[in-house]
Structure 1
Amino acid sequence: MNEARRYLETQVLTAPKEKLLLMLLDGAIRFATQAREKSAAGDRQGASTLYLRAQAIALELSAALDPGLDPALRRNLAGLYMFVYRRLVAANLDGATAPAEEALAILGKLRGMFGEAVAAMRTGTPVEGAGERVGRTG
């Protein structure tokens, strides 16, 4: 095992769950972005491998939702993660960039919101209107 892999493994195994969430979102964004670029360059096989990784993360995010969450929040997050998953599947199957862009837009908004929430948890500062932002388009 190389040093970078060992470092990442240590980071994952010792990270608090809120940091793991951010790491997963970062990974999904990175893989989907790289897949979109490979697809645009005509490398469908390389794109497919990366889309599959992003899809796996979207499914993991949905499956790992805390059962103790407010039921409406849990349902909404699960719906967003499944939307992202379906758009990544569509991008992978069709080679089109529009579905990937839609998935990346949602992932980016989620990453921003959860990043703010984690920072607020650390400082004890409330995040105003965080629950309303994902549905906005602008």
Structure 2
Amino acid sequence: MSTGQDNANAYLRTQVMSATPAELRMMLLDGAVKFAKQGRQGLVDKDHEQVYSGFSQARAIITELMTSMRPEAAPELCEQVRSLYAFLFQELVRASMDSDLPRADKAIELLEYEQQTWRLLLEQLKTEEGAGNAPAQPAQQSVPGRTAGYGAPAQDNYTPLSVEG
């Protein structure tokens, strides 16, 4: 592995380890969009390996987004978002299997909309923190092994790609 690649990996690792749960979710959405676009480009180029690789990575990220939600914080919202992610997952499977460019475009459009929504949320949270206001936090129940709010978990075996707080 090259020194440049090592540096990039170290930088990414630092970003992930120091990110808030909302920032981790944003990183995951950025990755899902990036890989879905790579899969789409594979459809255009008729490059089956790129289609498989791009869409598979996008689906893996969508799966992480679905499984890392905290329904105890907002059950109805989590269910709606989980349904959206399940739909996106299915659309990417169908786009890949059927070489369906319009279906891939629609899935990417929805992913970009979700990405923009989270970007706006992060901006709002930073604005609230900068104004000295405590960021709005969802009402939540205590989860064993986890601290309250968006803080890092109390456990030593914390998995950094989990967006749970």
CA distance in 2, matches of 1:123, 1:68: 26
**Contact kept in structure 2, 1:44 and 1:95, CA below 8 Å:** no
Counterpart for residue 99 of structure 1: 103
CA distance in 2, matches of 1:68, 1:45: 39
CA distance in 1, matches of 2:115, 2:96: 22
Counterpart for residue 61 of structure 1: 65
Per-residue CA deviations over 1:37-70 (Å, capped at 9, x if unaligned) read 1111010112111110000011110000112232
Structure 1: unaligned runs, 5 residues or longer: 126-138
Normalising by structure 1, report the TM-score: 0.85
Q: Which of 93, 113, 118 is the matching residue for 1:89?
A: 93
Counterpart for residue 23 of structure 2: 19
More helix by share: 1
| 1:119 equivalent in alignment to 2:116 | no
Query: After the TM superposition, which parts of structure 1 deviate over 2 Å for at least 4 consecutive aligned residues?
Result: none
Q: Over alpha carbons, which structure has the higher Rg?
A: 2
Counterpart for residue 31 of structure 1: 35
Structure 2: unaligned runs, 5 residues or longer: 132-165
Aligned CA RMSD, in angstroms, stands at: 1.4
Aligned residues: 125
| 1:71 equivalent in alignment to 2:70 | no
Normalising by structure 2, report the TM-score: 0.72
Instruction: Give how far 1:105 is off.
Output: 1.3
Q: Which of 78, 84, 87 is the matching residue for 1:80?
A: 84
Per-residue CA deviations over 1:3-30 (Å, capped at 9, x if unaligned) read 1112112211221111111110000000
